[in-house]
Amino acid sequence: MKALPPEIEQRYCKLAVLLEDMPAPLPILQTLWNCDEAEARRIARRLSDRSLAQRDDECAIRLHDLQLDYVRARYPDPQGLALIHSAVRLCAHVIEKDPRQFASQVLGRLLPYRHTPAIQQFIDEIAAGAPVPWLRSLHPALHPPGTPLLRTLEGHSDSVSGVAVTPDGKRAVSASWDHTLKVWDLETGRTLRTLEGHSGAVTGVAVTPDGKRAVSGSEDCRVKVWDLETGRALCTLEDHYGFVSGVAVTPDGQRVVSAFADDTLDVWDLGTGGAPHRLVGHSDDVSGVAVTPDGKRAVSASEDCTLKVWDLQTGRGLRTLKGHSDSVYGVAVTPDGKRVVSASGDTTLKVWDLGTGRVLRTLEGHSGPVRGVAVTPDGKRAVSASRDRTLKVWDLATGCAPRTLEGHAASVEGAAVTADGKRAVSASEDKTLKVWDLQTGRALRTLKGHSNSVWGVAVTPDGKRAVSASEDETLELWSLATGRALRTLEGHSDLVYGVAVTPDGKRAISASADKTLRVWDLATGRALRTLEGHSDHVSGAAVTPDGKRAISASVDKTLKVWDLETGRVLRTLQGHSGWVSGVAVTADGKRAVSASEDRTLRVWDLATGRALRTLEGHSGWVYGVAATPDGKRAVSASLDHTLKVWDLATGLLLATFHFDAPARCCAFVDAHRIVAGDRGGRVCFLMLEEGPSPVNIE
């Protein structure tokens, strides 16, 4: 260290923000060191040659624990460093797959603490060093450090239905609808092993008291016992008459309590498979079960929205726990036997006092139904499994309530921006719209009036009114100044997915599940014309800048170009292999960009109907799309949790931003600012940063 130039020593100390056993690939090194790729390679090689770091073939470096201790001891603000470590841990699952997102993820999670000098300095440093282009959060929208959420584990290809933790608290075993189980290292978040053998969705999992075996239940009507060290299935129990929805093992390892999708539970001997008695009392399917540490009681979770506490000796129901607003899918008991943690379809977990039946705490953070939960042996953490395909690790010991990010109470399905770039309007499944100040990121007003989910929104060119599309089969015309509904547009016979407004602000075009589009006079609320031609739901619409044509997107896998004056179909655009869920038109009116269930976007020539380019890169359904005012770029929102910015001339992917929940909608404010919404109810304000490029100091 003493032989290093001061600037290299300073850069080495910046590695204090890394986690234990965390590799730092070149994009992370470029961000931390504010240099280009070639310079990052040279410095990494120099540190490796001096045995100050390990370097792999890709030039990623890793520090030993003692080296980490050394650089951390020299960090000027230990409390600030702890917050940075928490932020890095929260996004480790993202940056492990895409290290270029290090700056956008860590900065986005630290924004609530930017008033702390050390955090603001770190934010400024990584913002200056991030390889361009990248997407920067302008206001808090990602889960920050300081809440019970510690880490997210990603790897399953379908819903995660259950989870169990080994007695030493070091590993978790998850069950998934993808027919597999996975064994995880809770310290690093890495997958250690995948257990394959079930022929149906794996619905529940438990670990034996010695931590050597796991027991899983599946929709294939089988219970399997696994060796966790080898990943081998030791035996299969096939005596069940229906699919097993949950399993638990008593502390002595002698009995298994299995939950069935028929309102009942069975208690049976693990050796013989005999069921000594049946527990009956729920009014709907039993989806999960846990046993208290003394082996005397079981707690069951049911789709009747309750939990029940049972005496295993007598089979009698002792108590019913009520509080969730949807099915309860999973349950775990803390090691002291005093608390219960439940997982529900209402996307939350609840911590209960088992003695009184009272709710102690509600944990919020998942974007989909929570299917399972387990508690670590020290009782300090819970691990939850969700239909959003993730697991989350929660801190139960601090009693810290999660920070509530301002936003909607349900998925954000649409977004639009006023022409002056000062306000945005979001539409949500929570039946409301919100008007946002783009400068501060604050919600100015909530628009209430729809009786069902709001799926789309458009703003008139003068920025004074908004038109919303709803599942209640209507559209509403709103005053953005007062928040008052000016007019209700009625005529569709099914839910309305989307809406667009003509450039003169006089007409609106709506897209509906009734397979039609309607053209509306906004002054009178009268339907001027019905456009018929699609063979399935019409999911979105856009209008060309001259106001003469509309382009519709449909579940029938096509787009159609319409003459708004005559109502005639001018052209049908074919090429997608899945539902077309959204469409945008470039400012010159010559091209359209479509988003599809087939995980791609397509760029179309509206004059010829020819597909000019296919944009590939998403790993999930692409739900939303928008184009920049200059028509050079597009932004897409996908259920793979990402927002992507594309160069329409080359088809190249420019930047990616990973949300904490599936991304549902997006809109450009200008050529660089973006508004997007996710399934978790959050509205995110992003800036596409394009320079200046980092400079070298050596």
Question: How many of the other CB atoms lie within 10 Å of CB of 202?
Answer: 31
Q: Give me the pLDDT at residue 695, please.
A: 40
Cα 232 from Cα 246, distance rounded (Å): 21
Q: Which long-range contacts (CB under 8 A, 24 or more apart) does 608-617 make?
A: 609/561, 609/571, 609/572, 609/573, 611/573, 611/575, 613/648, 613/651, 614/575, 614/651, 615/646, 615/651, 615/653, 617/644, 617/653, 617/656
The first and second tokens of residue 158, run together, are 């379908």
Exposure string for 44-59, b = 16+ CB within 10 A, e = fewer: bebbbeeebbebeeeb
* CA separation, residue 537 to residues 369, 600, 623, 627 (Å): 26, 19, 15, 23
Burial (CB count within 10 angstroms: exposed 0-12, middle 13-18, buried 19+), residue 33: buried
| φ, ψ at 122 (rounded to 5°) | -65, -40
**How big is the chain by its Cα radius of gyration, in Å?**
27
Rounded to a whole number of angstroms, the distance between the first and last alpha carbons of the chain is: 17
This prediction's pTM: 0.81
Instruction: Please choose, from the candidates 258, 244, 243, the residue with its C-alpha nearest in 3D space to the C-alpha of residue 291.
Output: 258
Q: E strands within 166-285?
A: 171-176, 180-185, 191-196, 202-207, 213-218, 223-227, 233-237, 244-249, 255-260, 264-269, 277-280
Burial (CB count within 10 angstroms: exposed 0-12, middle 13-18, buried 19+), residue 163: buried
Cα 685 from Cα 687, distance rounded (Å): 7
163 pLDDT higher than 80: yes
Please tell me the least confidently modeled range out of 5-19, 112-126, 384-398, 518-532. 384-398
Q: State whether the Cα torsion 483-484-486-488 is positive or negative.
A: positive
Instruction: Determine contact, residues 550/564, Cβ cutoff 8 Å.
Output: yes
694 pLDDT higher than 60: no
Cα 165 from Cα 171, distance rounded (Å): 6
The first and second tokens of residue 547, run together, are 């106001």
**Residue that is written with structure tokens 């998934």 in the block:** 176
**Residue that is written with structure tokens 């450039």 in the block:** 503
Instruction: Determine contact, residues 403/146, Cβ cutoff 8 Å.
Output: yes
**Helices of type H across 98-222:** 102-110, 117-129
Q: Give me the pLDDT at residue 554, please.
A: 98
Instruction: Determine contact, residues 300/288, Cβ cutoff 8 Å.
Output: yes
pLDDT digits (tens, 9 = 90+) for 248-273: 888 887 777 877 777 788 787 766 65
243 pLDDT higher than 80: no
What domains lie within the chain, and their CATH numbers? 6-129 (1.10.10.10), 153-395 (2.130.10.10), 412-689 (2.130.10.10)
Q: Give me the pLDDT at residue 266, please.
A: 78
404 pLDDT higher than 70: no
83 pLDDT higher than 90: yes
**Residue that is written with structure tokens 């997407």 in the block:** 135
pLDDT digits (tens, 9 = 90+) for 315-355: 899 999 999 999 999 899 999 999 999 999 999 999 999 99
Give the count of alpha carbons within 13 A of 168, CB side only: 9
Please tell me the least confidently modeled range out of 79-83, 121-125, 147-151, 210-214. 147-151
Q: Which residue has better confidence, 116 or 400?
A: 116
Beta-ladder partners of 353: 339
* CA separation, residue 518 to residues 26, 298, 430, 513, 539 (Å): 52, 56, 25, 12, 13
> Average pLDDT of 506-511?
97
457 pLDDT higher than 90: yes
Beta-ladder partners of 572: 560
Q: What is the DSSP string of 644-666?
A: EEEETTT--EEEEEE-SS-EEEE
* CA separation, residue 463 to residues 267, 424, 435, 678 (Å): 64, 10, 11, 24
Cα 97 from Cα 474, distance rounded (Å): 42
Task: Give residue 689's pLDDT band: very low, low, confident or very high (50, 70, 90).
Answer: very high
pLDDT digits (tens, 9 = 90+) for 568-624: 999 999 999 999 999 999 999 999 999 999 999 999 999 999 999 999 999 999 999
Question: How many of the other CB atoms lie within 10 Å of CB of 379?
Answer: 17
Instruction: Please choose, from the candidates 107, 89, 117, 91, the residue with its C-alpha nearest in 3D space to the C-alpha of residue 21.
Output: 89
Find how far residue 606's CA is from the centre of its chain. 34
Q: Give me the pLDDT at residue 359, please.
A: 94
Instruction: Determine contact, residues 248/291, Cβ cutoff 8 Å.
Output: yes
Tell me the helices (H) and strands (E) count for the chain, helix number first.
8, 54
* CA separation, residue 627 to residues 619, 632, 642, 671, 672 (Å): 21, 8, 17, 9, 11
Residue type, 66: L
Instruction: Determine contact, residues 177/184, Cβ cutoff 8 Å.
Output: no
Burial (CB count within 10 angstroms: exposed 0-12, middle 13-18, buried 19+), residue 404: exposed
pLDDT digits (tens, 9 = 90+) for 416-430: 999 898 899 999 999
pLDDT digits (tens, 9 = 90+) for 519-570: 999 999 999 999 999 999 999 999 999 999 999 999 999 999 999 999 999 9
| φ, ψ at 459 (rounded to 5°) | -115, 140
Cα 384 from Cα 143, distance rounded (Å): 16
pLDDT digits (tens, 9 = 90+) for 203-239: 888 898 889 999 998 888 888 889 999 999 998 876 5
**Helices of type H across 50-113:** 65-73, 78-90, 92-95, 102-110
Question: How many of the other CB atoms lie within 10 Å of CB of 185?
Answer: 15
Q: Give me the pLDDT at residue 241, please.
A: 57
627 pLDDT higher than 50: yes
Question: Which residues, other chains included, contact 399 with Cβ-Cβ below 8 Å and sequence gap of 6+?
Answer: 361
681 pLDDT higher than 70: yes
Q: Give me the pLDDT at residue 698, please.
A: 32
22: left (phi over 0), alpha (psi -120 to 50) or beta: beta
